[in-house]
Amino acid sequence: MNPLSAAQLLDAWEQGLSEPACRRALALLAAASPDSSTEVVAILSIGERDRRLLTLRSWIFGPQLESVISCPVCSEQLEWTADTADLSSAKQGEMPGELSLEVDHYRVSFRLPNSLDLAAVAGCTDAEMARWSMLERCISAVEREGQEISSSELPGAVADTVVKRMGEADPQADTQVDLACPACGNRWQALFDIETFFWSEINVWAQRILSEVHTLASAYGWREREILSLSPWRRQFYLGLVGR
C-alpha cells in the first residue's frame, strides 16, 4: 500500500461519492494499492480493512485523531483525542481463509466477515436479522454429531460462540475508545468506525481543496493537476498572495 497524492485522493473521493457508504473505503484502499483490484480489497476481513484505513489516514492527515461525542448519561459534549497507533491492533500474519470450531456437539466452518458482507446487509433495518444474515454468509458448513445441517438450525448459544471466535481472530474489526465524562464521571467504551470518520475528513478536505484550486486557477490560469501537484505549503503561499 502506498500514500496517496492530492490528485489521487481527490479522484478516490469523487469515485466514492457515487458509491454506498459501505463501499467508499474500497475506493480509497484500491487507489492506495495499485497491485490489488477493488475485488481483492473487498474480500479483506473488516479488521484488516480498518487497519489499512488507519495507516492510510495517518499518512494523509497525520497520526492524531480528534472528535466530539456526547456522554450517554448526561449528554455532555466532550472532546477526545487518540493516536492511530493506539487504535491499531498488533499486525497479524496472513489472515486465515477458513476457521472452524467445535462446541456442544456442533462443528462450524466459517470465514471472517468482509466488506461485501457489510454491503449485503446494509439495507437491513432489523439489527438481529442483519446479524444472522451476515453470519449465514460467513458460515460454509455446519455439522451436528457428524450430520450436515443448515446454518439456520444453529442454536443461538453456538452462533454467539462463532461470533466471539470471529472477534478474537480479527480484533481490529471492533475498535473501542475508552472515554470518561468530566461532568458526571461516567466511563464507557464507544465503537470507533474509521471508515466513517476518515471519509468525513476526506469530504471536508476535498471541498476545501477544490475551492483552493478554483482560486488559484482563476488567479494564475493553472490547470487542476498543476495546482494539486504543489505541496500544501506552496499552495497556501500562493493563496496568501492572491488574497493580498
**Which residue, among 85, 60, 51, has the nearest Cα to 3 in the 3D structure?**
60
Instruction: Give the whole-number percent of the chain exceeding pLDDT 70.
Output: 97
Side chain identity at residue 176, one-letter code = Q
Highest mean pLDDT among 125-134, 165-174, 211-220: 211-220
Model pLDDT for residues 173-223, shown as the tens digit of each residue: 999 999 999 999 999 999 999 999 999 999 999 999 999 999 999 999 999
According to the model, what pLDDT value does residue 127 have?
84
Gap between the Cα atoms of 169 and 16, Å rounded? 29
Lowest mean pLDDT among 10-14, 26-30, 120-124, 190-194: 120-124
Query: Residue range 226-232: average pLDDT?
Result: 93
Lowest mean pLDDT among 19-23, 53-57, 130-134, 217-221: 19-23
Query: What Rg value do the Cα atoms of the chain yield, rounded?
Result: 22
Query: Mean pLDDT in the chain?
Result: 90
**pLDDT exceeds cutoff 60 at 145:** yes
Whole-structure pTM over 0.85, yes or no? yes
Model pLDDT for residues 69-108, shown as the tens digit of each residue: 999 999 999 999 999 988 887 665 556 678 999 988 999 9
Query: Residue range 112-131: average pLDDT?
Result: 88
Cell readout for 92 is: 497479524
Instruction: Give the whole-number percent of the chain exceeding pLDDT 90.
Output: 69
DSSP state of 229: T
**pLDDT exceeds cutoff 70 at 54:** yes
DSSP state of 72: T
**pLDDT exceeds cutoff 80 at 152:** yes
**Which residue, among 114, 112, 96, has the nearest Cα to 25 in the 3D structure?**
114
- Tell which wins on pLDDT, 38 or 78: 78
DSSP strands (E only) in the chain? 64-70, 77-83, 99-103, 106-110, 139-144, 147-149, 176-180, 187-191
